Structure 1
Amino acid sequence: MKKNRLGNSDLYVSELGLGCMSLGTNQQKATNIITEALDQGINYLDTADLYDKTENEAIVGKAIKGKRDDIILATKVGNHLTEDGTWFWDPSKSYIKEQVKKSLQRLQTDYIDLYQLHGGTIEDPIDETIEAFEELKKEGLIRYYGISSIRPNVIREYVKRSSLVSVMMQYSLFDRRPEEEVFDLLEENNISVVTRGALAKGMLSDQASEVVKQKGKDGYLGYNYDELVAMTNELSKETNSLTVAALQYVLHQPAVASAVVGASSTKQLLDNLKLKDAAPFSESTYQALQRVSKPITYQNHR
């Protein structure tokens, strides 16, 4: 599988990454999915301390035992879990430096390739957060850091003040918000985008007609149900596989290094991996898909 450089780092990530949030809590099932992903050329695994209240990290850690050197491992921090299972936002230096040790323990590794702030607002103590990440780099506990955020104002601050190598953000044919005010900024600063939500909860997959009925009945972002139905019908006419086209669309952006897609079964993973054998994505197809969808901008989440 094609690999792309993550920002100015020495990490080369597969263009399709495995989002681990959907793996579930059955260890054997999760291990099977991860093993298949690695066998198929995926080297980028993305988890977070928040997923399944830390259990996801532990499951990933067991699944990758003995294979660590072949993997670019990413996790996230900032959602402070309490003893009663609730959480609150905590981007403080003390919490980040305390939590990384717990993540390392659960992941059964002595370093994290990419440590990401799991959110963020403009009111955060941003310099303190950056200081924590920089210290963790010097200590060798993490190799690089990034943020997971869709907030343009927050992203701008980290671009100005930090040495982050990536920004994870939601991006798809149904959510083209980053195109307007984020991608150019990141590309100019040699910071990579890692996307999530490229298949829009499955509404941009080969099962779109069924999924839209379930997950799109109340609309999605700026689209109502009828618009979603009309668009998926039109998009399906433009391509042999909507799943593949949706993934190729986000990867067509020069700033995008990897599209992280979840899988709750090996079959779902293999459906996504059709990308590997797909015909090249032409500029005319890209423009045709753009004409069917519509650009939207960030109103909230600034």
Structure 2
Amino acid sequence: MRKSRLGSSELYVSEIGLGCMSLGTEEEHAVKLIHQALDGGVNFLDTADLYDEGRNEEMVRKAVQGRRSDVIIATKVGNRRVPGQDGWVWDPSKAYIKSAVKESLRRLGTDYIDLYQLHGGTLEDSIDETIEAFEELKREGWIRYYGISSIRPNVIREYMEKSDIVSVMSQYSILDRRPEEAVLDLLAEKNISAIARGPVARGLLSGKGRTKAEKGYLDYSQDELLDVLGKLEEYAAGEDLTHLAIRYALGHAAVACTIPGASSLEQLLHNLAAGNLEPLSPQDIQTIQAISHANQYESHR
């Protein structure tokens, strides 16, 4: 599988990674899926301390035992659980980040995290303090690089200007083209990579898309979705729509990696097959953009 450099880092990530959130909580099943992904050329695993209250990180640890040097592990921080309470609170403080990283390292069974990502963020945060925490963790050797996972352009721009982030993870697909309007070109200019999550848009850009269109998606109504899906299927001319969707997300110069989730072996292998295909041509991308429409962020601009 092709690999791309993640921003200005020394990390070269497979263009298709694995979003581990969808693996479920059954350890044997999850470990098998991760092993299959690694055997299929994936070297980028994305998890978070939030997923299943840390259980997801523990399953990643189990799966990468004996293979740690071959894997780039990305995890996230910022959502703090309060003992005795449901849910979590947002906490991007330096104290919390520097304590939470130790717990993630323990659960992951590793001495370092390749990519540590802020799991959200607002303009009301003490951004300088948050950056200071990540910089200290980097100097201390607990993390190699850091980034942010966010869909808020105003927050992303702050971190691009003030920090040494190497990546921005954001939702991006044929049906969610908001990053094209506000983020991707600027990331490319700054030599910061995008990690595209949700390239199949909750399964809408798959063979089962029509059955999922009832509630619409972002600013698409059900009828608009069905029309777009029909035109995309016609353009694909028998080729797989999931593969087309993954290749589209990889089509922008800023995107180094996309992380479709997979809850079954069949789904995983199907996603990975997109890595064997040639990149879309500029004409392909233009045609797909003409079929869909250019969404825009309505807030946090």
TM range (shorter): over 0.9
Q: Amino acid of the residue matched to residue 106 of structure 2?
A: Q
Cα offset, 1:86, TM superposition? 1.8
Matches within 5 A, 1:98-177: 98-177=99-178
SS in 2 for 1:262: coil
Residues 11-32 of structure 1 show CA distances to partners (whole Å, capped at 9, x for unaligned) of 0000001000000111110011
**Which residue is 1:233 aligned to?**
230
Contact 2:215 2:221 in 1 (8 A): yes
SS in 1 for 2:295: coil
Cα offset, 1:300, TM superposition? 2.0
Residues 194-220 of structure 1 show CA distances to partners (whole Å, capped at 9, x for unaligned) of 01011000101232223x2xxx32211
Contact 2:15 2:275 in 1 (8 A): no
CA distance in 2, matches of 1:301, 1:53: 28
**Which residue is 2:59 aligned to?**
59
Q: Amino acid of the residue matched to residue 258 of structure 1?
A: C
Contact 2:80 2:90 in 1 (8 A): yes
Q: Amino acid of the residue matched to residue 70 of structure 1?
A: D
CA distance in 2, matches of 1:245, 1:296: 19
CA distance in 1, matches of 2:38, 2:278: 22
SS in 1 for 2:260: strand
CA distance in 1, matches of 2:208, 2:283: 24
Cα offset, 1:279, TM superposition? 4.1
Residues 60-95 of structure 1 show CA distances to partners (whole Å, capped at 9, x for unaligned) of 111111110000000000000122342000000000
**Which residue is 1:222 aligned to?**
219
Q: Amino acid of the residue matched to residue 130 of structure 2?
A: T
Matches within 5 A, 1:85-104: 85-104=86-105
- How many residues are paired up? 298
**Which residue is 1:11 aligned to?**
11
CA distance in 1, matches of 2:30, 2:215: 31
Contact 2:251 2:279 in 1 (8 A): no
Measured on the aligned residues, the alpha-carbon RMSD in Å equals: 1.0
SS in 2 for 1:54: helix
Contact 1:238 1:285 in 2 (8 A): no
**Which residue is 2:241 aligned to?**
242
CA distance in 1, matches of 2:114, 2:262: 22
Q: Amino acid of the residue matched to residue 2 of structure 1?
A: R
Residues 104-160 of structure 1 show CA distances to partners (whole Å, capped at 9, x for unaligned) of 000000100000000000111000000000000001000000000111111111011
**Which residue is 2:290 aligned to?**
291
SS in 2 for 1:199: coil
Q: Amino acid of the residue matched to residue 287 of structure 2?
A: A
CA distance in 1, matches of 2:241, 2:298: 28
Contact 1:192 1:256 in 2 (8 A): yes
Give aligned-pair identity as a percent. 58
SS in 1 for 2:202: helix
**Which residue is 1:276 aligned to?**
275
**Which residue is 1:251 aligned to?**
250
Stretches of structure 1 lacking an aligned partner (at least 5 in a row): none
Cα offset, 1:280, TM superposition? 4.1
Residues 171-225 of structure 1 show CA distances to partners (whole Å, capped at 9, x for unaligned) of 0111101101211111111000001011000101232223x2xxx3221110011
TM-score w.r.t. the length of structure 2 is 0.97
Cα offset, 1:285, TM superposition? 1.5
**Which residue is 2:204 aligned to?**
203
CA distance in 2, matches of 1:233, 1:301: 32
